Every structure is written in structure tokens, then in C-alpha cells.
Amino acid sequence: MCGIAGFIDFNHYSSHAILKDCTDVLSHRGPDGSGYEFLQEENFQVGLGHRRLSVIDLSNAASQPMWYKGFCIIFNGEIYNYAEIKSELGKLGHEFISHSDTEVILHAWEQWKELMVQRFIGMFAFVIYDTSKKEIYCFRDRAGVKPFYYYWYNGLFLFASELKSFHKHPRFKKEINQQAVYQFIQYGFIMAPLSIFNYTSKLLPGNYLQFHIQQSKFSIRKYWDVFDAYNKPKLDINESEAKKHTEELLISASKYRMVADVSVGVFLSGGYDSTAITALLQSYQQEKLKTFTIGFFEENHNEAEYAKKVAAHLETDHTEYYCTTKEAQEIIPKIPFFCDEPFGDSSIIPTTLLSQLAGKEVTVALSADGSDETFGGYNKYSLSLDFIKKINRLPIRDSVGKLLNYVPNSLLSQFTKSKAVAIKKQRIADLMQYPQITTPLIMDHLLSQTYSDEQMKFLMQDGVIKPGSFFDSQNELNDFSGQLDKMLAIDYKTYLPDDILVKVDRACMSVSLEGREPLLDHRLIEFIAQLPEELKIKDGIKKYLLKEIVHNYVPKELMDRPKMGFGVPVFAWLRNDLKYYAEEFMSEKDFERHGIFKKEGVKNIINRFFQGDKNFNSLFWYLLIFQIWYKQWMS
């Protein structure tokens, strides 16, 4: 795990000193070393910078930027199967001087060029400069575990692991993208390829960018897409066979992510996802795994007691720490710095605290993200499928939609299982008045929003057009995918990479901890996507197949409990001891500085929040985070 930064400058405004600044601002991603390559050509300048977190081959032979023949690479991530690829290359005549996966990438590039990435099992964002062809290639891993931003404006091409690198270049044009703001307020995160700034984008997962320097232009190509797996025919397989092969894939994926020359641990919450990884790994090794759990004194947010029981059963070397409210609250003002963009998922607070705990003992931590999007774990999937099934039986949906506005929120809350009942109710009412919208996928999309498009008009200034996203791409999925599979596939391309994985990457990297994701091994999703939907949600049991595997290692009675989100009572804090945040960041004058939101819309959200209306919890939080971000990066 590292940090990378660089540029192509056709105006010759850059320098070695600027490259160093752009790179060193990422020192939290790589505290163990740094390297810079600044090349001055007649018509352009190229800069390649690297901050190193030593994980595989701790010697100087693995330092970056790394050269091989006429190729230079900067690399963030890990290629877990590099030993097998290295062996294959060795048989083809390649010779190596280090034990690093970075060197393997360079030799693989010489041998197979772009096709090499199909062989990689890993998480990565890397840049290769081909000096003979005067071309730069930028790759991002299939699921989007590792971030990659790029900027192209007025003859300057910037790229980096985090946006904060761009701020260090004096020619970076810092201009807010209002479509990205729209998306942030509506969902709580910004989806690739959008970025908070104009002229700036995120490279989509499973894509690579090729910059033709002599033509001063670039092209982007896709080498992997989860939709392709879902568009294949379903496998003719029984439950026993599916369970056996899934378990084999989980074991392989988890073992690969233990490959390191430093200490490795596991985040353990006590839920099915992290328990699966811990149980599978502990059963295949004699040495006790190091597991880590954060506890909270607020009972509704505390999973530590469950994790402790699981750790005791599996006999891991377990560490737990109960955080104080003060420790958790101190994370809030740091969120905009480490996330670079407005980021609304408040579970980044406990994730950062957990990273701080693990980082004291290990350099690498395995995290269990991606299970819900792979095996079908979110409540919204079942709710959407069930709701549409019931609504489509109604002969007068549009009239029912209008009447729904008169149903008491207290009654409807029992059906929607949502805290923000009034807002959700309005969205459901809107849905029912449009007969052509009858799919669970559309229902799922609406429930994923905090504010509907109609409601956004009351907050955003006029003229801002809603940006498109993969939520609009259901037509790219064929009939082999059922309604559940379509929801899973789209969440894999939206919520997973742009919320969950951003959260884990930034939280881990804030303390120079490498986070690894066994459940995001591409071999696993390619297999699970082709399984029948009833193996994902069966008889109302979510993540059925994964749970059946876990029950082979941990008693069902130890695991069978309601799903608990990994969160903290941030809204209660903001109404009480953190109420001063509103005075510090959310005055009328503060909002006037950028003029992005309508005055009355902001005023209404703030007032309703402090009146105790839970429907406005998320909206207040998003506005606060935006304001803290604005002060951090735009002042």
C-alpha cells in the first residue's frame, strides 16, 4: 500500500520541487520511503512520485519509481499472486533482482502489455511510463479498492492516489463541480467518474487510461466489468456444490491476502462477514490470528461483546478497545482532510478508530467489505422485492400513492423500517403514481437516495442538472440477471467502490495501515454472480450461502442475531455537545461564501434537525460535512 502522484505538463510550469510537494502530501499513505522521477523533454515534462509503505520485500531493491529497460512504474497496492506470475515469467526467460510484486508488473508489461492485468489477483492503482513510445498507462483494480484521480486542463495532466496532491500543484484549477455536490447531497457520496472538482475525474474500476503524449490526448478502455459476470447464464449447480466451491474461493482469497513480509491482522466485528474470514484463516494455520474490535459504551452501537465471543470460540489473539465519546468526536473535523471530497458515511468514524487500534500492532489488516453486495445482505433488497410484489397487485396504484401521503408516519415506519419516514414516504408515493416504474431495482434506487429529485429542487440552486450514474444502467444487464442480481450488480459499481471502499481506504491510510479485502477477490464475484438468486436470499434469510459456510465453523446460536450497522450516535452528538458545529460552520454567512444551496432550503433543514425531526438527520450531516470540507479545501 502506498501513495502515488505525478503529471504530464505540456507548458513546462512544473519542477522537481513541485513533484516532491505533490508526492509528500501523501506521506500518511507511505511513511517508509519516497522516490521522485522528474523528466524534462523538449515538448513536455513528466513527473512520477511515490510514497512507500513497505509490505512485500522491505529492501531498497523494491523502492519506487522503479525502472526496467525503458519502462518506469509507480504502484499502489498488492498483486497477491505475484509469485506464480514471476515463476511463469521466469520460464519465459525473465530475470529478477528483487522479491517485489512491483518488479513482476514491469516484466509482465514487457511480456504481455495490457493483457497482463487479466492475470492479476490483487488491488492496485499503478502508472507505467513507456519512454520509447512516449505513452503513460494508468490502471485501476477491478473492484476499485485502490483510488486513482486524474485532472486534465490547459495542457496539464495530473494523477494521484488522493486529490490533496493536486492542491500542491500551482496550476491546478480549483473549481467546484456542482453536479458532484448534487450527487453528494442525494446519496452521501460522489460516484466515479465524477469528482468534486471540474476537470477532475476518478478512473473507473476495471479500467485503464492510455495517454498518448505526442498527440496530447488520452483514451480510456475497460478490461473488466462485473456486469459481464451477471450477464452469463446461470450455472447448473446444486446447493452443496455451490457451497463447496464458494468456500474454496473464500479460503484461497483469504490466504492470498495474508502474503506479506510484515505483521497481518483481521478486523473482527462478530458479524458473518468478518467471522467468515477469521474462521477460514484460523482453521488453516496454527499461529493465532490477531483480531481487532472497537467497542462503544452506547449499547445500540456496540458489537464488541459479539466479536469477543467469536474470537474466544475461534481462539484468536484478540484485542478490543472501548472508545470514549470524545475520541470518536475528534475524528469528525479530520474527515474532509483524509477523504478530500465531501463524504457522508459517518461509519468512517468507528472505522478510523478501529484502524488506529490495529495500526499499533500490525501493518496490514484484512477487512470483510463486499459481502452484502455479493451475497445479498442489505435489508433494502428484501424490502424492494417484497414492496413491488405487493404494490403491483393493487388495481389503482396512482390513487393509493396519493392516499399514502395521509397515512401516519408511525404506521408506515413499521413497513419501511426507516428512520426518515416522511421523506421515504414521499418517494414511495411518487413511485406508485408512475405505472411504468414497477421494478425492485427502481425502488431500491429511490431508497438509496436521501432526497428525491423533486425534493432536491428545494435545496440546490436552479440550473444544476442531475448527473447520470450506474444506477441508470439496468438495461446493460440481460435476462440472465433477476431483480435481486441487478440490484447487487449496480451496488457493486456504485455504493461499494465510492462509499464503502473510500471509507476503508481513507481510514486505514490515515494511520499508514494497509487494508485488504478478501471478499472482493474477482474470482469470487464472477462465480457468485452466476449462482441462482435463491442461494443468496433464501426463505427470507439474507446472505444464505455465506451463512451456511460460517455455521460449519461457528455455532449458529453464536451468530444468529439482528444485523447491526457499524456506527456511532453522531446525530445525538450534533443536537447536544457538538451543537456548536452548526454555529462554527453553518451560519448564513458561511453558506453565502459559495452560494451553492438555496437559503430557505438550508434554513429548513437546520431548523427541522434541531426540532428533533429524524427525517433531516442525514441532510443536516451532509451539509455540515460539506461546510467543513469547504473550509478545509476552498478557503
User: Cα angle at 18 between 16 and 23, to 5 degrees?
Assistant: 95
Pair 477, 203: CB distance under 8 Å: no
> Counting runs of H as helices and runs of E as strands, what totals does the chain give?
30, 19
Bridge partners, 45 (sequence order): 9, 40
Bridge partners, 137 (sequence order): 128, 210
Tell me, what DSSP letter sits at residue 321? E
C-alpha cell, 340? 478530500
C-alpha cell, 114? 495490457
| Helical axes 397-404 vs 421-432, angle rounded to 10° | 160
Residues noted as catalytic: 2
Q: Which amino acid is at 285?
A: Q
Pair 491, 342: CB distance under 8 Å: no
Q: What is the Cα–Cα distance from 489 to 224, expressed in whole angstroms?
A: 13
Q: DSSP E strands: which ranges in 204-268? A: 207-212, 217-222, 264-267
Tell me, what DSSP letter sits at residue 286? S
Q: What is the Cα–Cα distance from 205 to 142, expressed in whole angstroms?
A: 5
C-alpha cell, 331? 475524528
Q: What is the Cα–Cα distance from 399 to 267, expressed in whole angstroms?
A: 49
Alpha helices in 33-163 (DSSP H): 82-91, 101-112
Provide φ and ψ at 47, rounded to 5°: -125, 135
Determine whether 318 is exposed, middle or buried from the number of CB atoms within 10 Å of its CB (0-12, 13-18, 19+): buried
Pair 37, 73: CB distance under 8 Å: no
Closest by alpha carbon to 488, among 384, 367, 389, 415?
384
Pair 632, 342: CB distance under 8 Å: no
Pair 291, 264: CB distance under 8 Å: no
Chain length of the chain:
635
Provide φ and ψ at 34, rounded to 5°: -145, 155
C-alpha cell, 610? 434541531
> Residue 31: is the preceding peptide bond cis (ω within 30°)?
no
Q: What is the Cα–Cα distance from 522 to 537, expressed in whole angstroms?
A: 21
Under 8 Å CB-to-CB from 599, ≥6 apart: which residues?
588, 591
Q: What is the Cα–Cα distance from 543 to 548, expressed in whole angstroms?
A: 9
Under 8 Å CB-to-CB from 287, ≥6 apart: which residues?
none
Q: Which amino acid is at 294?
A: I
Alpha helices in 25-121 (DSSP H): 82-91, 101-112
Pair 160, 208: CB distance under 8 Å: no
Closest by alpha carbon to 63, among 82, 508, 54?
54
Give the full edge-to-edge strand order of the sheet including 200-202. 33-40, 45-52, 2-9, 156-160, 149-153, 200-202
Under 8 Å CB-to-CB from 449, ≥6 apart: which residues?
186, 187, 427
